[in-house]
Amino acid sequence: KAALIFGSNALISYSNTPRVEEAMQKLEFIAVCDLFMTPTAQMADIVLPASSWLERDNLISSFQVCPTYTIAQRKAVGLAEARSDVDIVCDLARKLGLADHFWNDAGELYDFLIKPTGLTFEEFKEEKRIFAPLVYRQFEKTGFNTPSGKVELYSSLLEKNHCSPLPAYTEPFESPAAAPDRPNEYPYILTTGWRLPVYRHTENRENPLLREIHPRPGVLIHPDTAARLDISEGDPIIIETATGNATLFAVLTLGIHPDVVQATPGWSGKANINRVIPWNRFAEGIGSVPMRGVLCRLEKGSIDGGDPQEGTLQ
């Protein structure tokens, strides 16, 4: 019926883009909270202006960086009608009659989160950073966080959830061996993991300074493969799979196998490589789709001018 989307450019970041767009067009109502008018926001009935990290207080603790410290982020500036995601959600909860299940505002949430330290969030902002004490060899007292309390090379948790308890090699979902009838039709192998340091997922392409560093969506291709297809450095390449097609610009390199091309994700329009990623198989126990090892065919394309993100690639 409806979608409320925070911090997600779903129309670009989800695989099998044609199906995602089809599903979103069938929704009766879409609200998007974002910093920019992304392709997803452009489909929305209402766009709520989100505040950036400089425009809001925040409580930050990242297990990806270090699980032992927490940082207080202090608001530096306030602009126009931009609001914290937390404040928007709390207000929406009140209007839906769900206030008892949420906090009054972001400040109250942060007080709740920091309460075990004995500080309020306002007091914590003066501290700026706190550390949890490091405890070594804790497993000798409590064991490991597994059902058996031991290091499990054979995972009882995976087995309980009907997944393979031991790692084992399986042929990629799509490969010459797994799909012997398809190599002639789709003779190349696509991977979509080429990351550019100035971008993160679908973010930052609105920044002209970063676009100056990497202005166009690229695909890595071996010079021998490019020569066979009459493709030169910077030429557009149409990448086609059984799911769809996308067009990116050739970046020639000896550092890739002649049968493989590697695309950079996160671009919009016809340059969105998620347009070609299928949904026909999902990873056991995780549910993710194959973003690598997808059979494809290549063809030299043409460009009709304009911004390569805006669908002018042919």
Q: What's the number of CA atoms in the CB half-sphere (13 Å) around residue 204? A: 15
pLDDT band at 182 (very low <50, low <70, confident <90, very high): low
Query: How many beta carbons lie within 10 A of that of residue 142, not counting itself?
Result: 9
Same domain, 83 and 116: yes
**pLDDT per position as a tens digit, 74-112:** 788 877 788 999 999 999 999 999 999 999 999 999 899
Asked if 77 and 37 sit in the same domain, the reply is no
Q: Is 97 exposed, middle or buried (0-12, 13-18, 19+ CB in 10 A)?
A: exposed
Q: What is the pLDDT of residue 17?
A: 93
**Residue 11: its pLDDT value, please?**
93
pLDDT, mean of residues 278-294:
83
303: in domain: yes
pLDDT, position 300:
95
**What is the token pair recorded at 159?**
């087995």
pLDDT score of 314 = 35
Please report the pLDDT score of residue 73 as a whole number.
76
Same domain flag for 205 and 295: yes
Answer whether residue 120 is part of any domain.
Answer: yes
Q: What is the pLDDT of residue 235?
A: 95
Q: Are residues 10 and 123 in the same domain?
A: no
Query: What's the confidence (pLDDT) of residue 66?
Result: 64
Residue 136, pLDDT > 80, answer yes
The percent of residues above 70 in pLDDT, for the chain, comes to 91
Q: What gap in Å lies between CA 283 and CA 173, rounded to an integer? A: 9
Domain boundary among 31, 50, 69: 50
Regarding whether 157 and 79 lie in a shared domain, the answer is no
pLDDT at 183: 65
Alpha helix segments (H runs only) across 255-311: none
pLDDT higher than 60, residue 118: yes
Tokens of 74: 């202090």
Q: Provide the pLDDT for residue 78.
A: 79
Residue 65 above 90 pLDDT? Answer: no
CATH of the domain at 291: 2.40.40.20
Tell me the mean pLDDT in the region 163-192.
81
Based on the fold, state whether residues 90 and 28 are members of the same structural domain: no
Sole residue written with tokens 């992304």? 38
Predicted local confidence at residue 215, as pLDDT: 92
Task: Specify if 172 maps to a domain.
Answer: no
Type and span of the H or E element at 2 = strand 2-6
Q: Are 195 and 209 contained in the same domain? A: yes
Residues 6+ apart with CB under 8 A from 197: none
Any domain includes 179: no
Checking if the pLDDT of 287 tops 80, the result is yes
Identify whether 297 is part of a domain: yes
Mean pLDDT of the chain: 87
Of residues 314 and 65, more confidently modeled: 65
Burial-class residue 211 by CB neighbours within 10 Å (0-12, 13-18, 19+). middle
**Shared-domain flag, residues 237 and 192:** yes
Question: Could you tell me the residue range of the domain that residue 160 belongs to?
Answer: 141-166
- Residue 313 above 70 pLDDT? no
Classify each residue of 151-175 as buried b or exposed e, where b means 16 or more C-beta atoms within 10 Å of its C-beta: eeeebeebeeeeeeeeeeeeebbbe
Q: What confidence tier does 63 reach under pLDDT thresholds 50, 70, 90?
A: low
129 pLDDT band, cuts 50/70/90, is confident
Domain shared by 293 and 225, yes or no: yes
In a domain, 211, yes or no: yes
- Residue 174 belongs to some domain of the structure: no
Q: Are 15 and 289 in contact (CB under 8 A)?
A: yes
288 lies in the same domain as 267: yes
Examine the fold and report which residue of 32, 50, 68 is the final residue of a domain before the chain moves on: 50
Note the maximum CA span of the chain.
Answer: 68
pLDDT of residue 62: 67
51 close to 101: Cβ distance less than 8 angstroms: no
Judge if 295 and 194 occupy the same domain.
Answer: yes
Lowest-confidence segment of 141-150, 215-224, 258-267, 279-288 by average pLDDT: 279-288
The answer, yes or no, to whether residue 312 has pLDDT greater than 50, is: no
Q: What are 139's two structure tokens?
A: 């497993």
Q: Do residue 158 and residue 110 come from a single domain? A: no
Number of domains in the chain: 4
Say if 205 falls within a structural domain: yes
